Amino acid sequence: MEIENNDVNILTFCNISGLSKEDQDMLIRVGEWITPAIPALTGRFYEVLQEDPQTAPYLDGRLDVLQKTHIAWMKELFAGDYGEDFIRRQEKIGEAHVRVRVPPLFVAASMSFLRAALPEVVSRNMQDTQVAGKAIASLLRLMDLCQYLIDRAYNHSLMDNLGINPALLLRLQTIGSKTK
């Protein structure tokens, strides 16, 4: 990926996950086949959210706006621009979720839904199975990056609310539990 960022954590994430310029090119290439399916996928996604007793209250009175926002976000995944502005938009999504008190569980479960549903969309809409496999891998790597960037907002909120610095939070997150 052409991630133009000085954040060593983002660069490490991209390096380890294998997110590359080839992934960027692949996502642009398959976007024309996938983009028309995004509204139906978003509809299915919000049906699932509405059926869950914990997530449904977060949708009350906001379903149309949320669906439009989700469609725009999904289309952005295939736009080919994964630079600083893309990263900042993902972080803002996380900040918005924190602001309206969406639990991190809902974000993780939603991303899991999309990681399962998107490969089906790709497979249905692409005849060449070899290209479809590469497209799915590229898309899943990008989805993982999006979740990482969104999740960071929860860590920042935790640090702010507890008054701790990033190094201390990392230490607390990586200390093993004492076993008896």
Whether the CA torsion 7, 11, 14, 17 is positive or negative: it is negative
Question: Whole-prediction pTM value?
Answer: 0.85
Buried b (16+ CB within 10 A) or exposed e, 5-40: beeeebeebbeebebbeebbebbebbbebbbebbee
Q: What are the distances in angstroms from CA 137 to CA 62, 70, 150, 178?
A: 32, 21, 20, 38
User: Measuring CA to CA, which residue among 153, 118, 132 is closest to residue 40?
Assistant: 118
pLDDT of residue 178 exceeding 80, the answer is no
User: Measuring CA to CA, which residue among 77, 84, 74 is closest to residue 142?
Assistant: 77
Q: What is the pLDDT of residues 63-111, one digit of tens each?
A: 999 999 999 999 999 998 888 899 999 999 999 999 999 999 999 999 9
Instruction: Give the per-residue pLDDT at 83.
Output: 86
Architecture of domain 8-174: Orthogonal Bundle (1.10)
Q: What is the pLDDT of residues 143-177, one digit of tens each?
A: 999 999 999 988 777 666 667 776 776 666 677 76
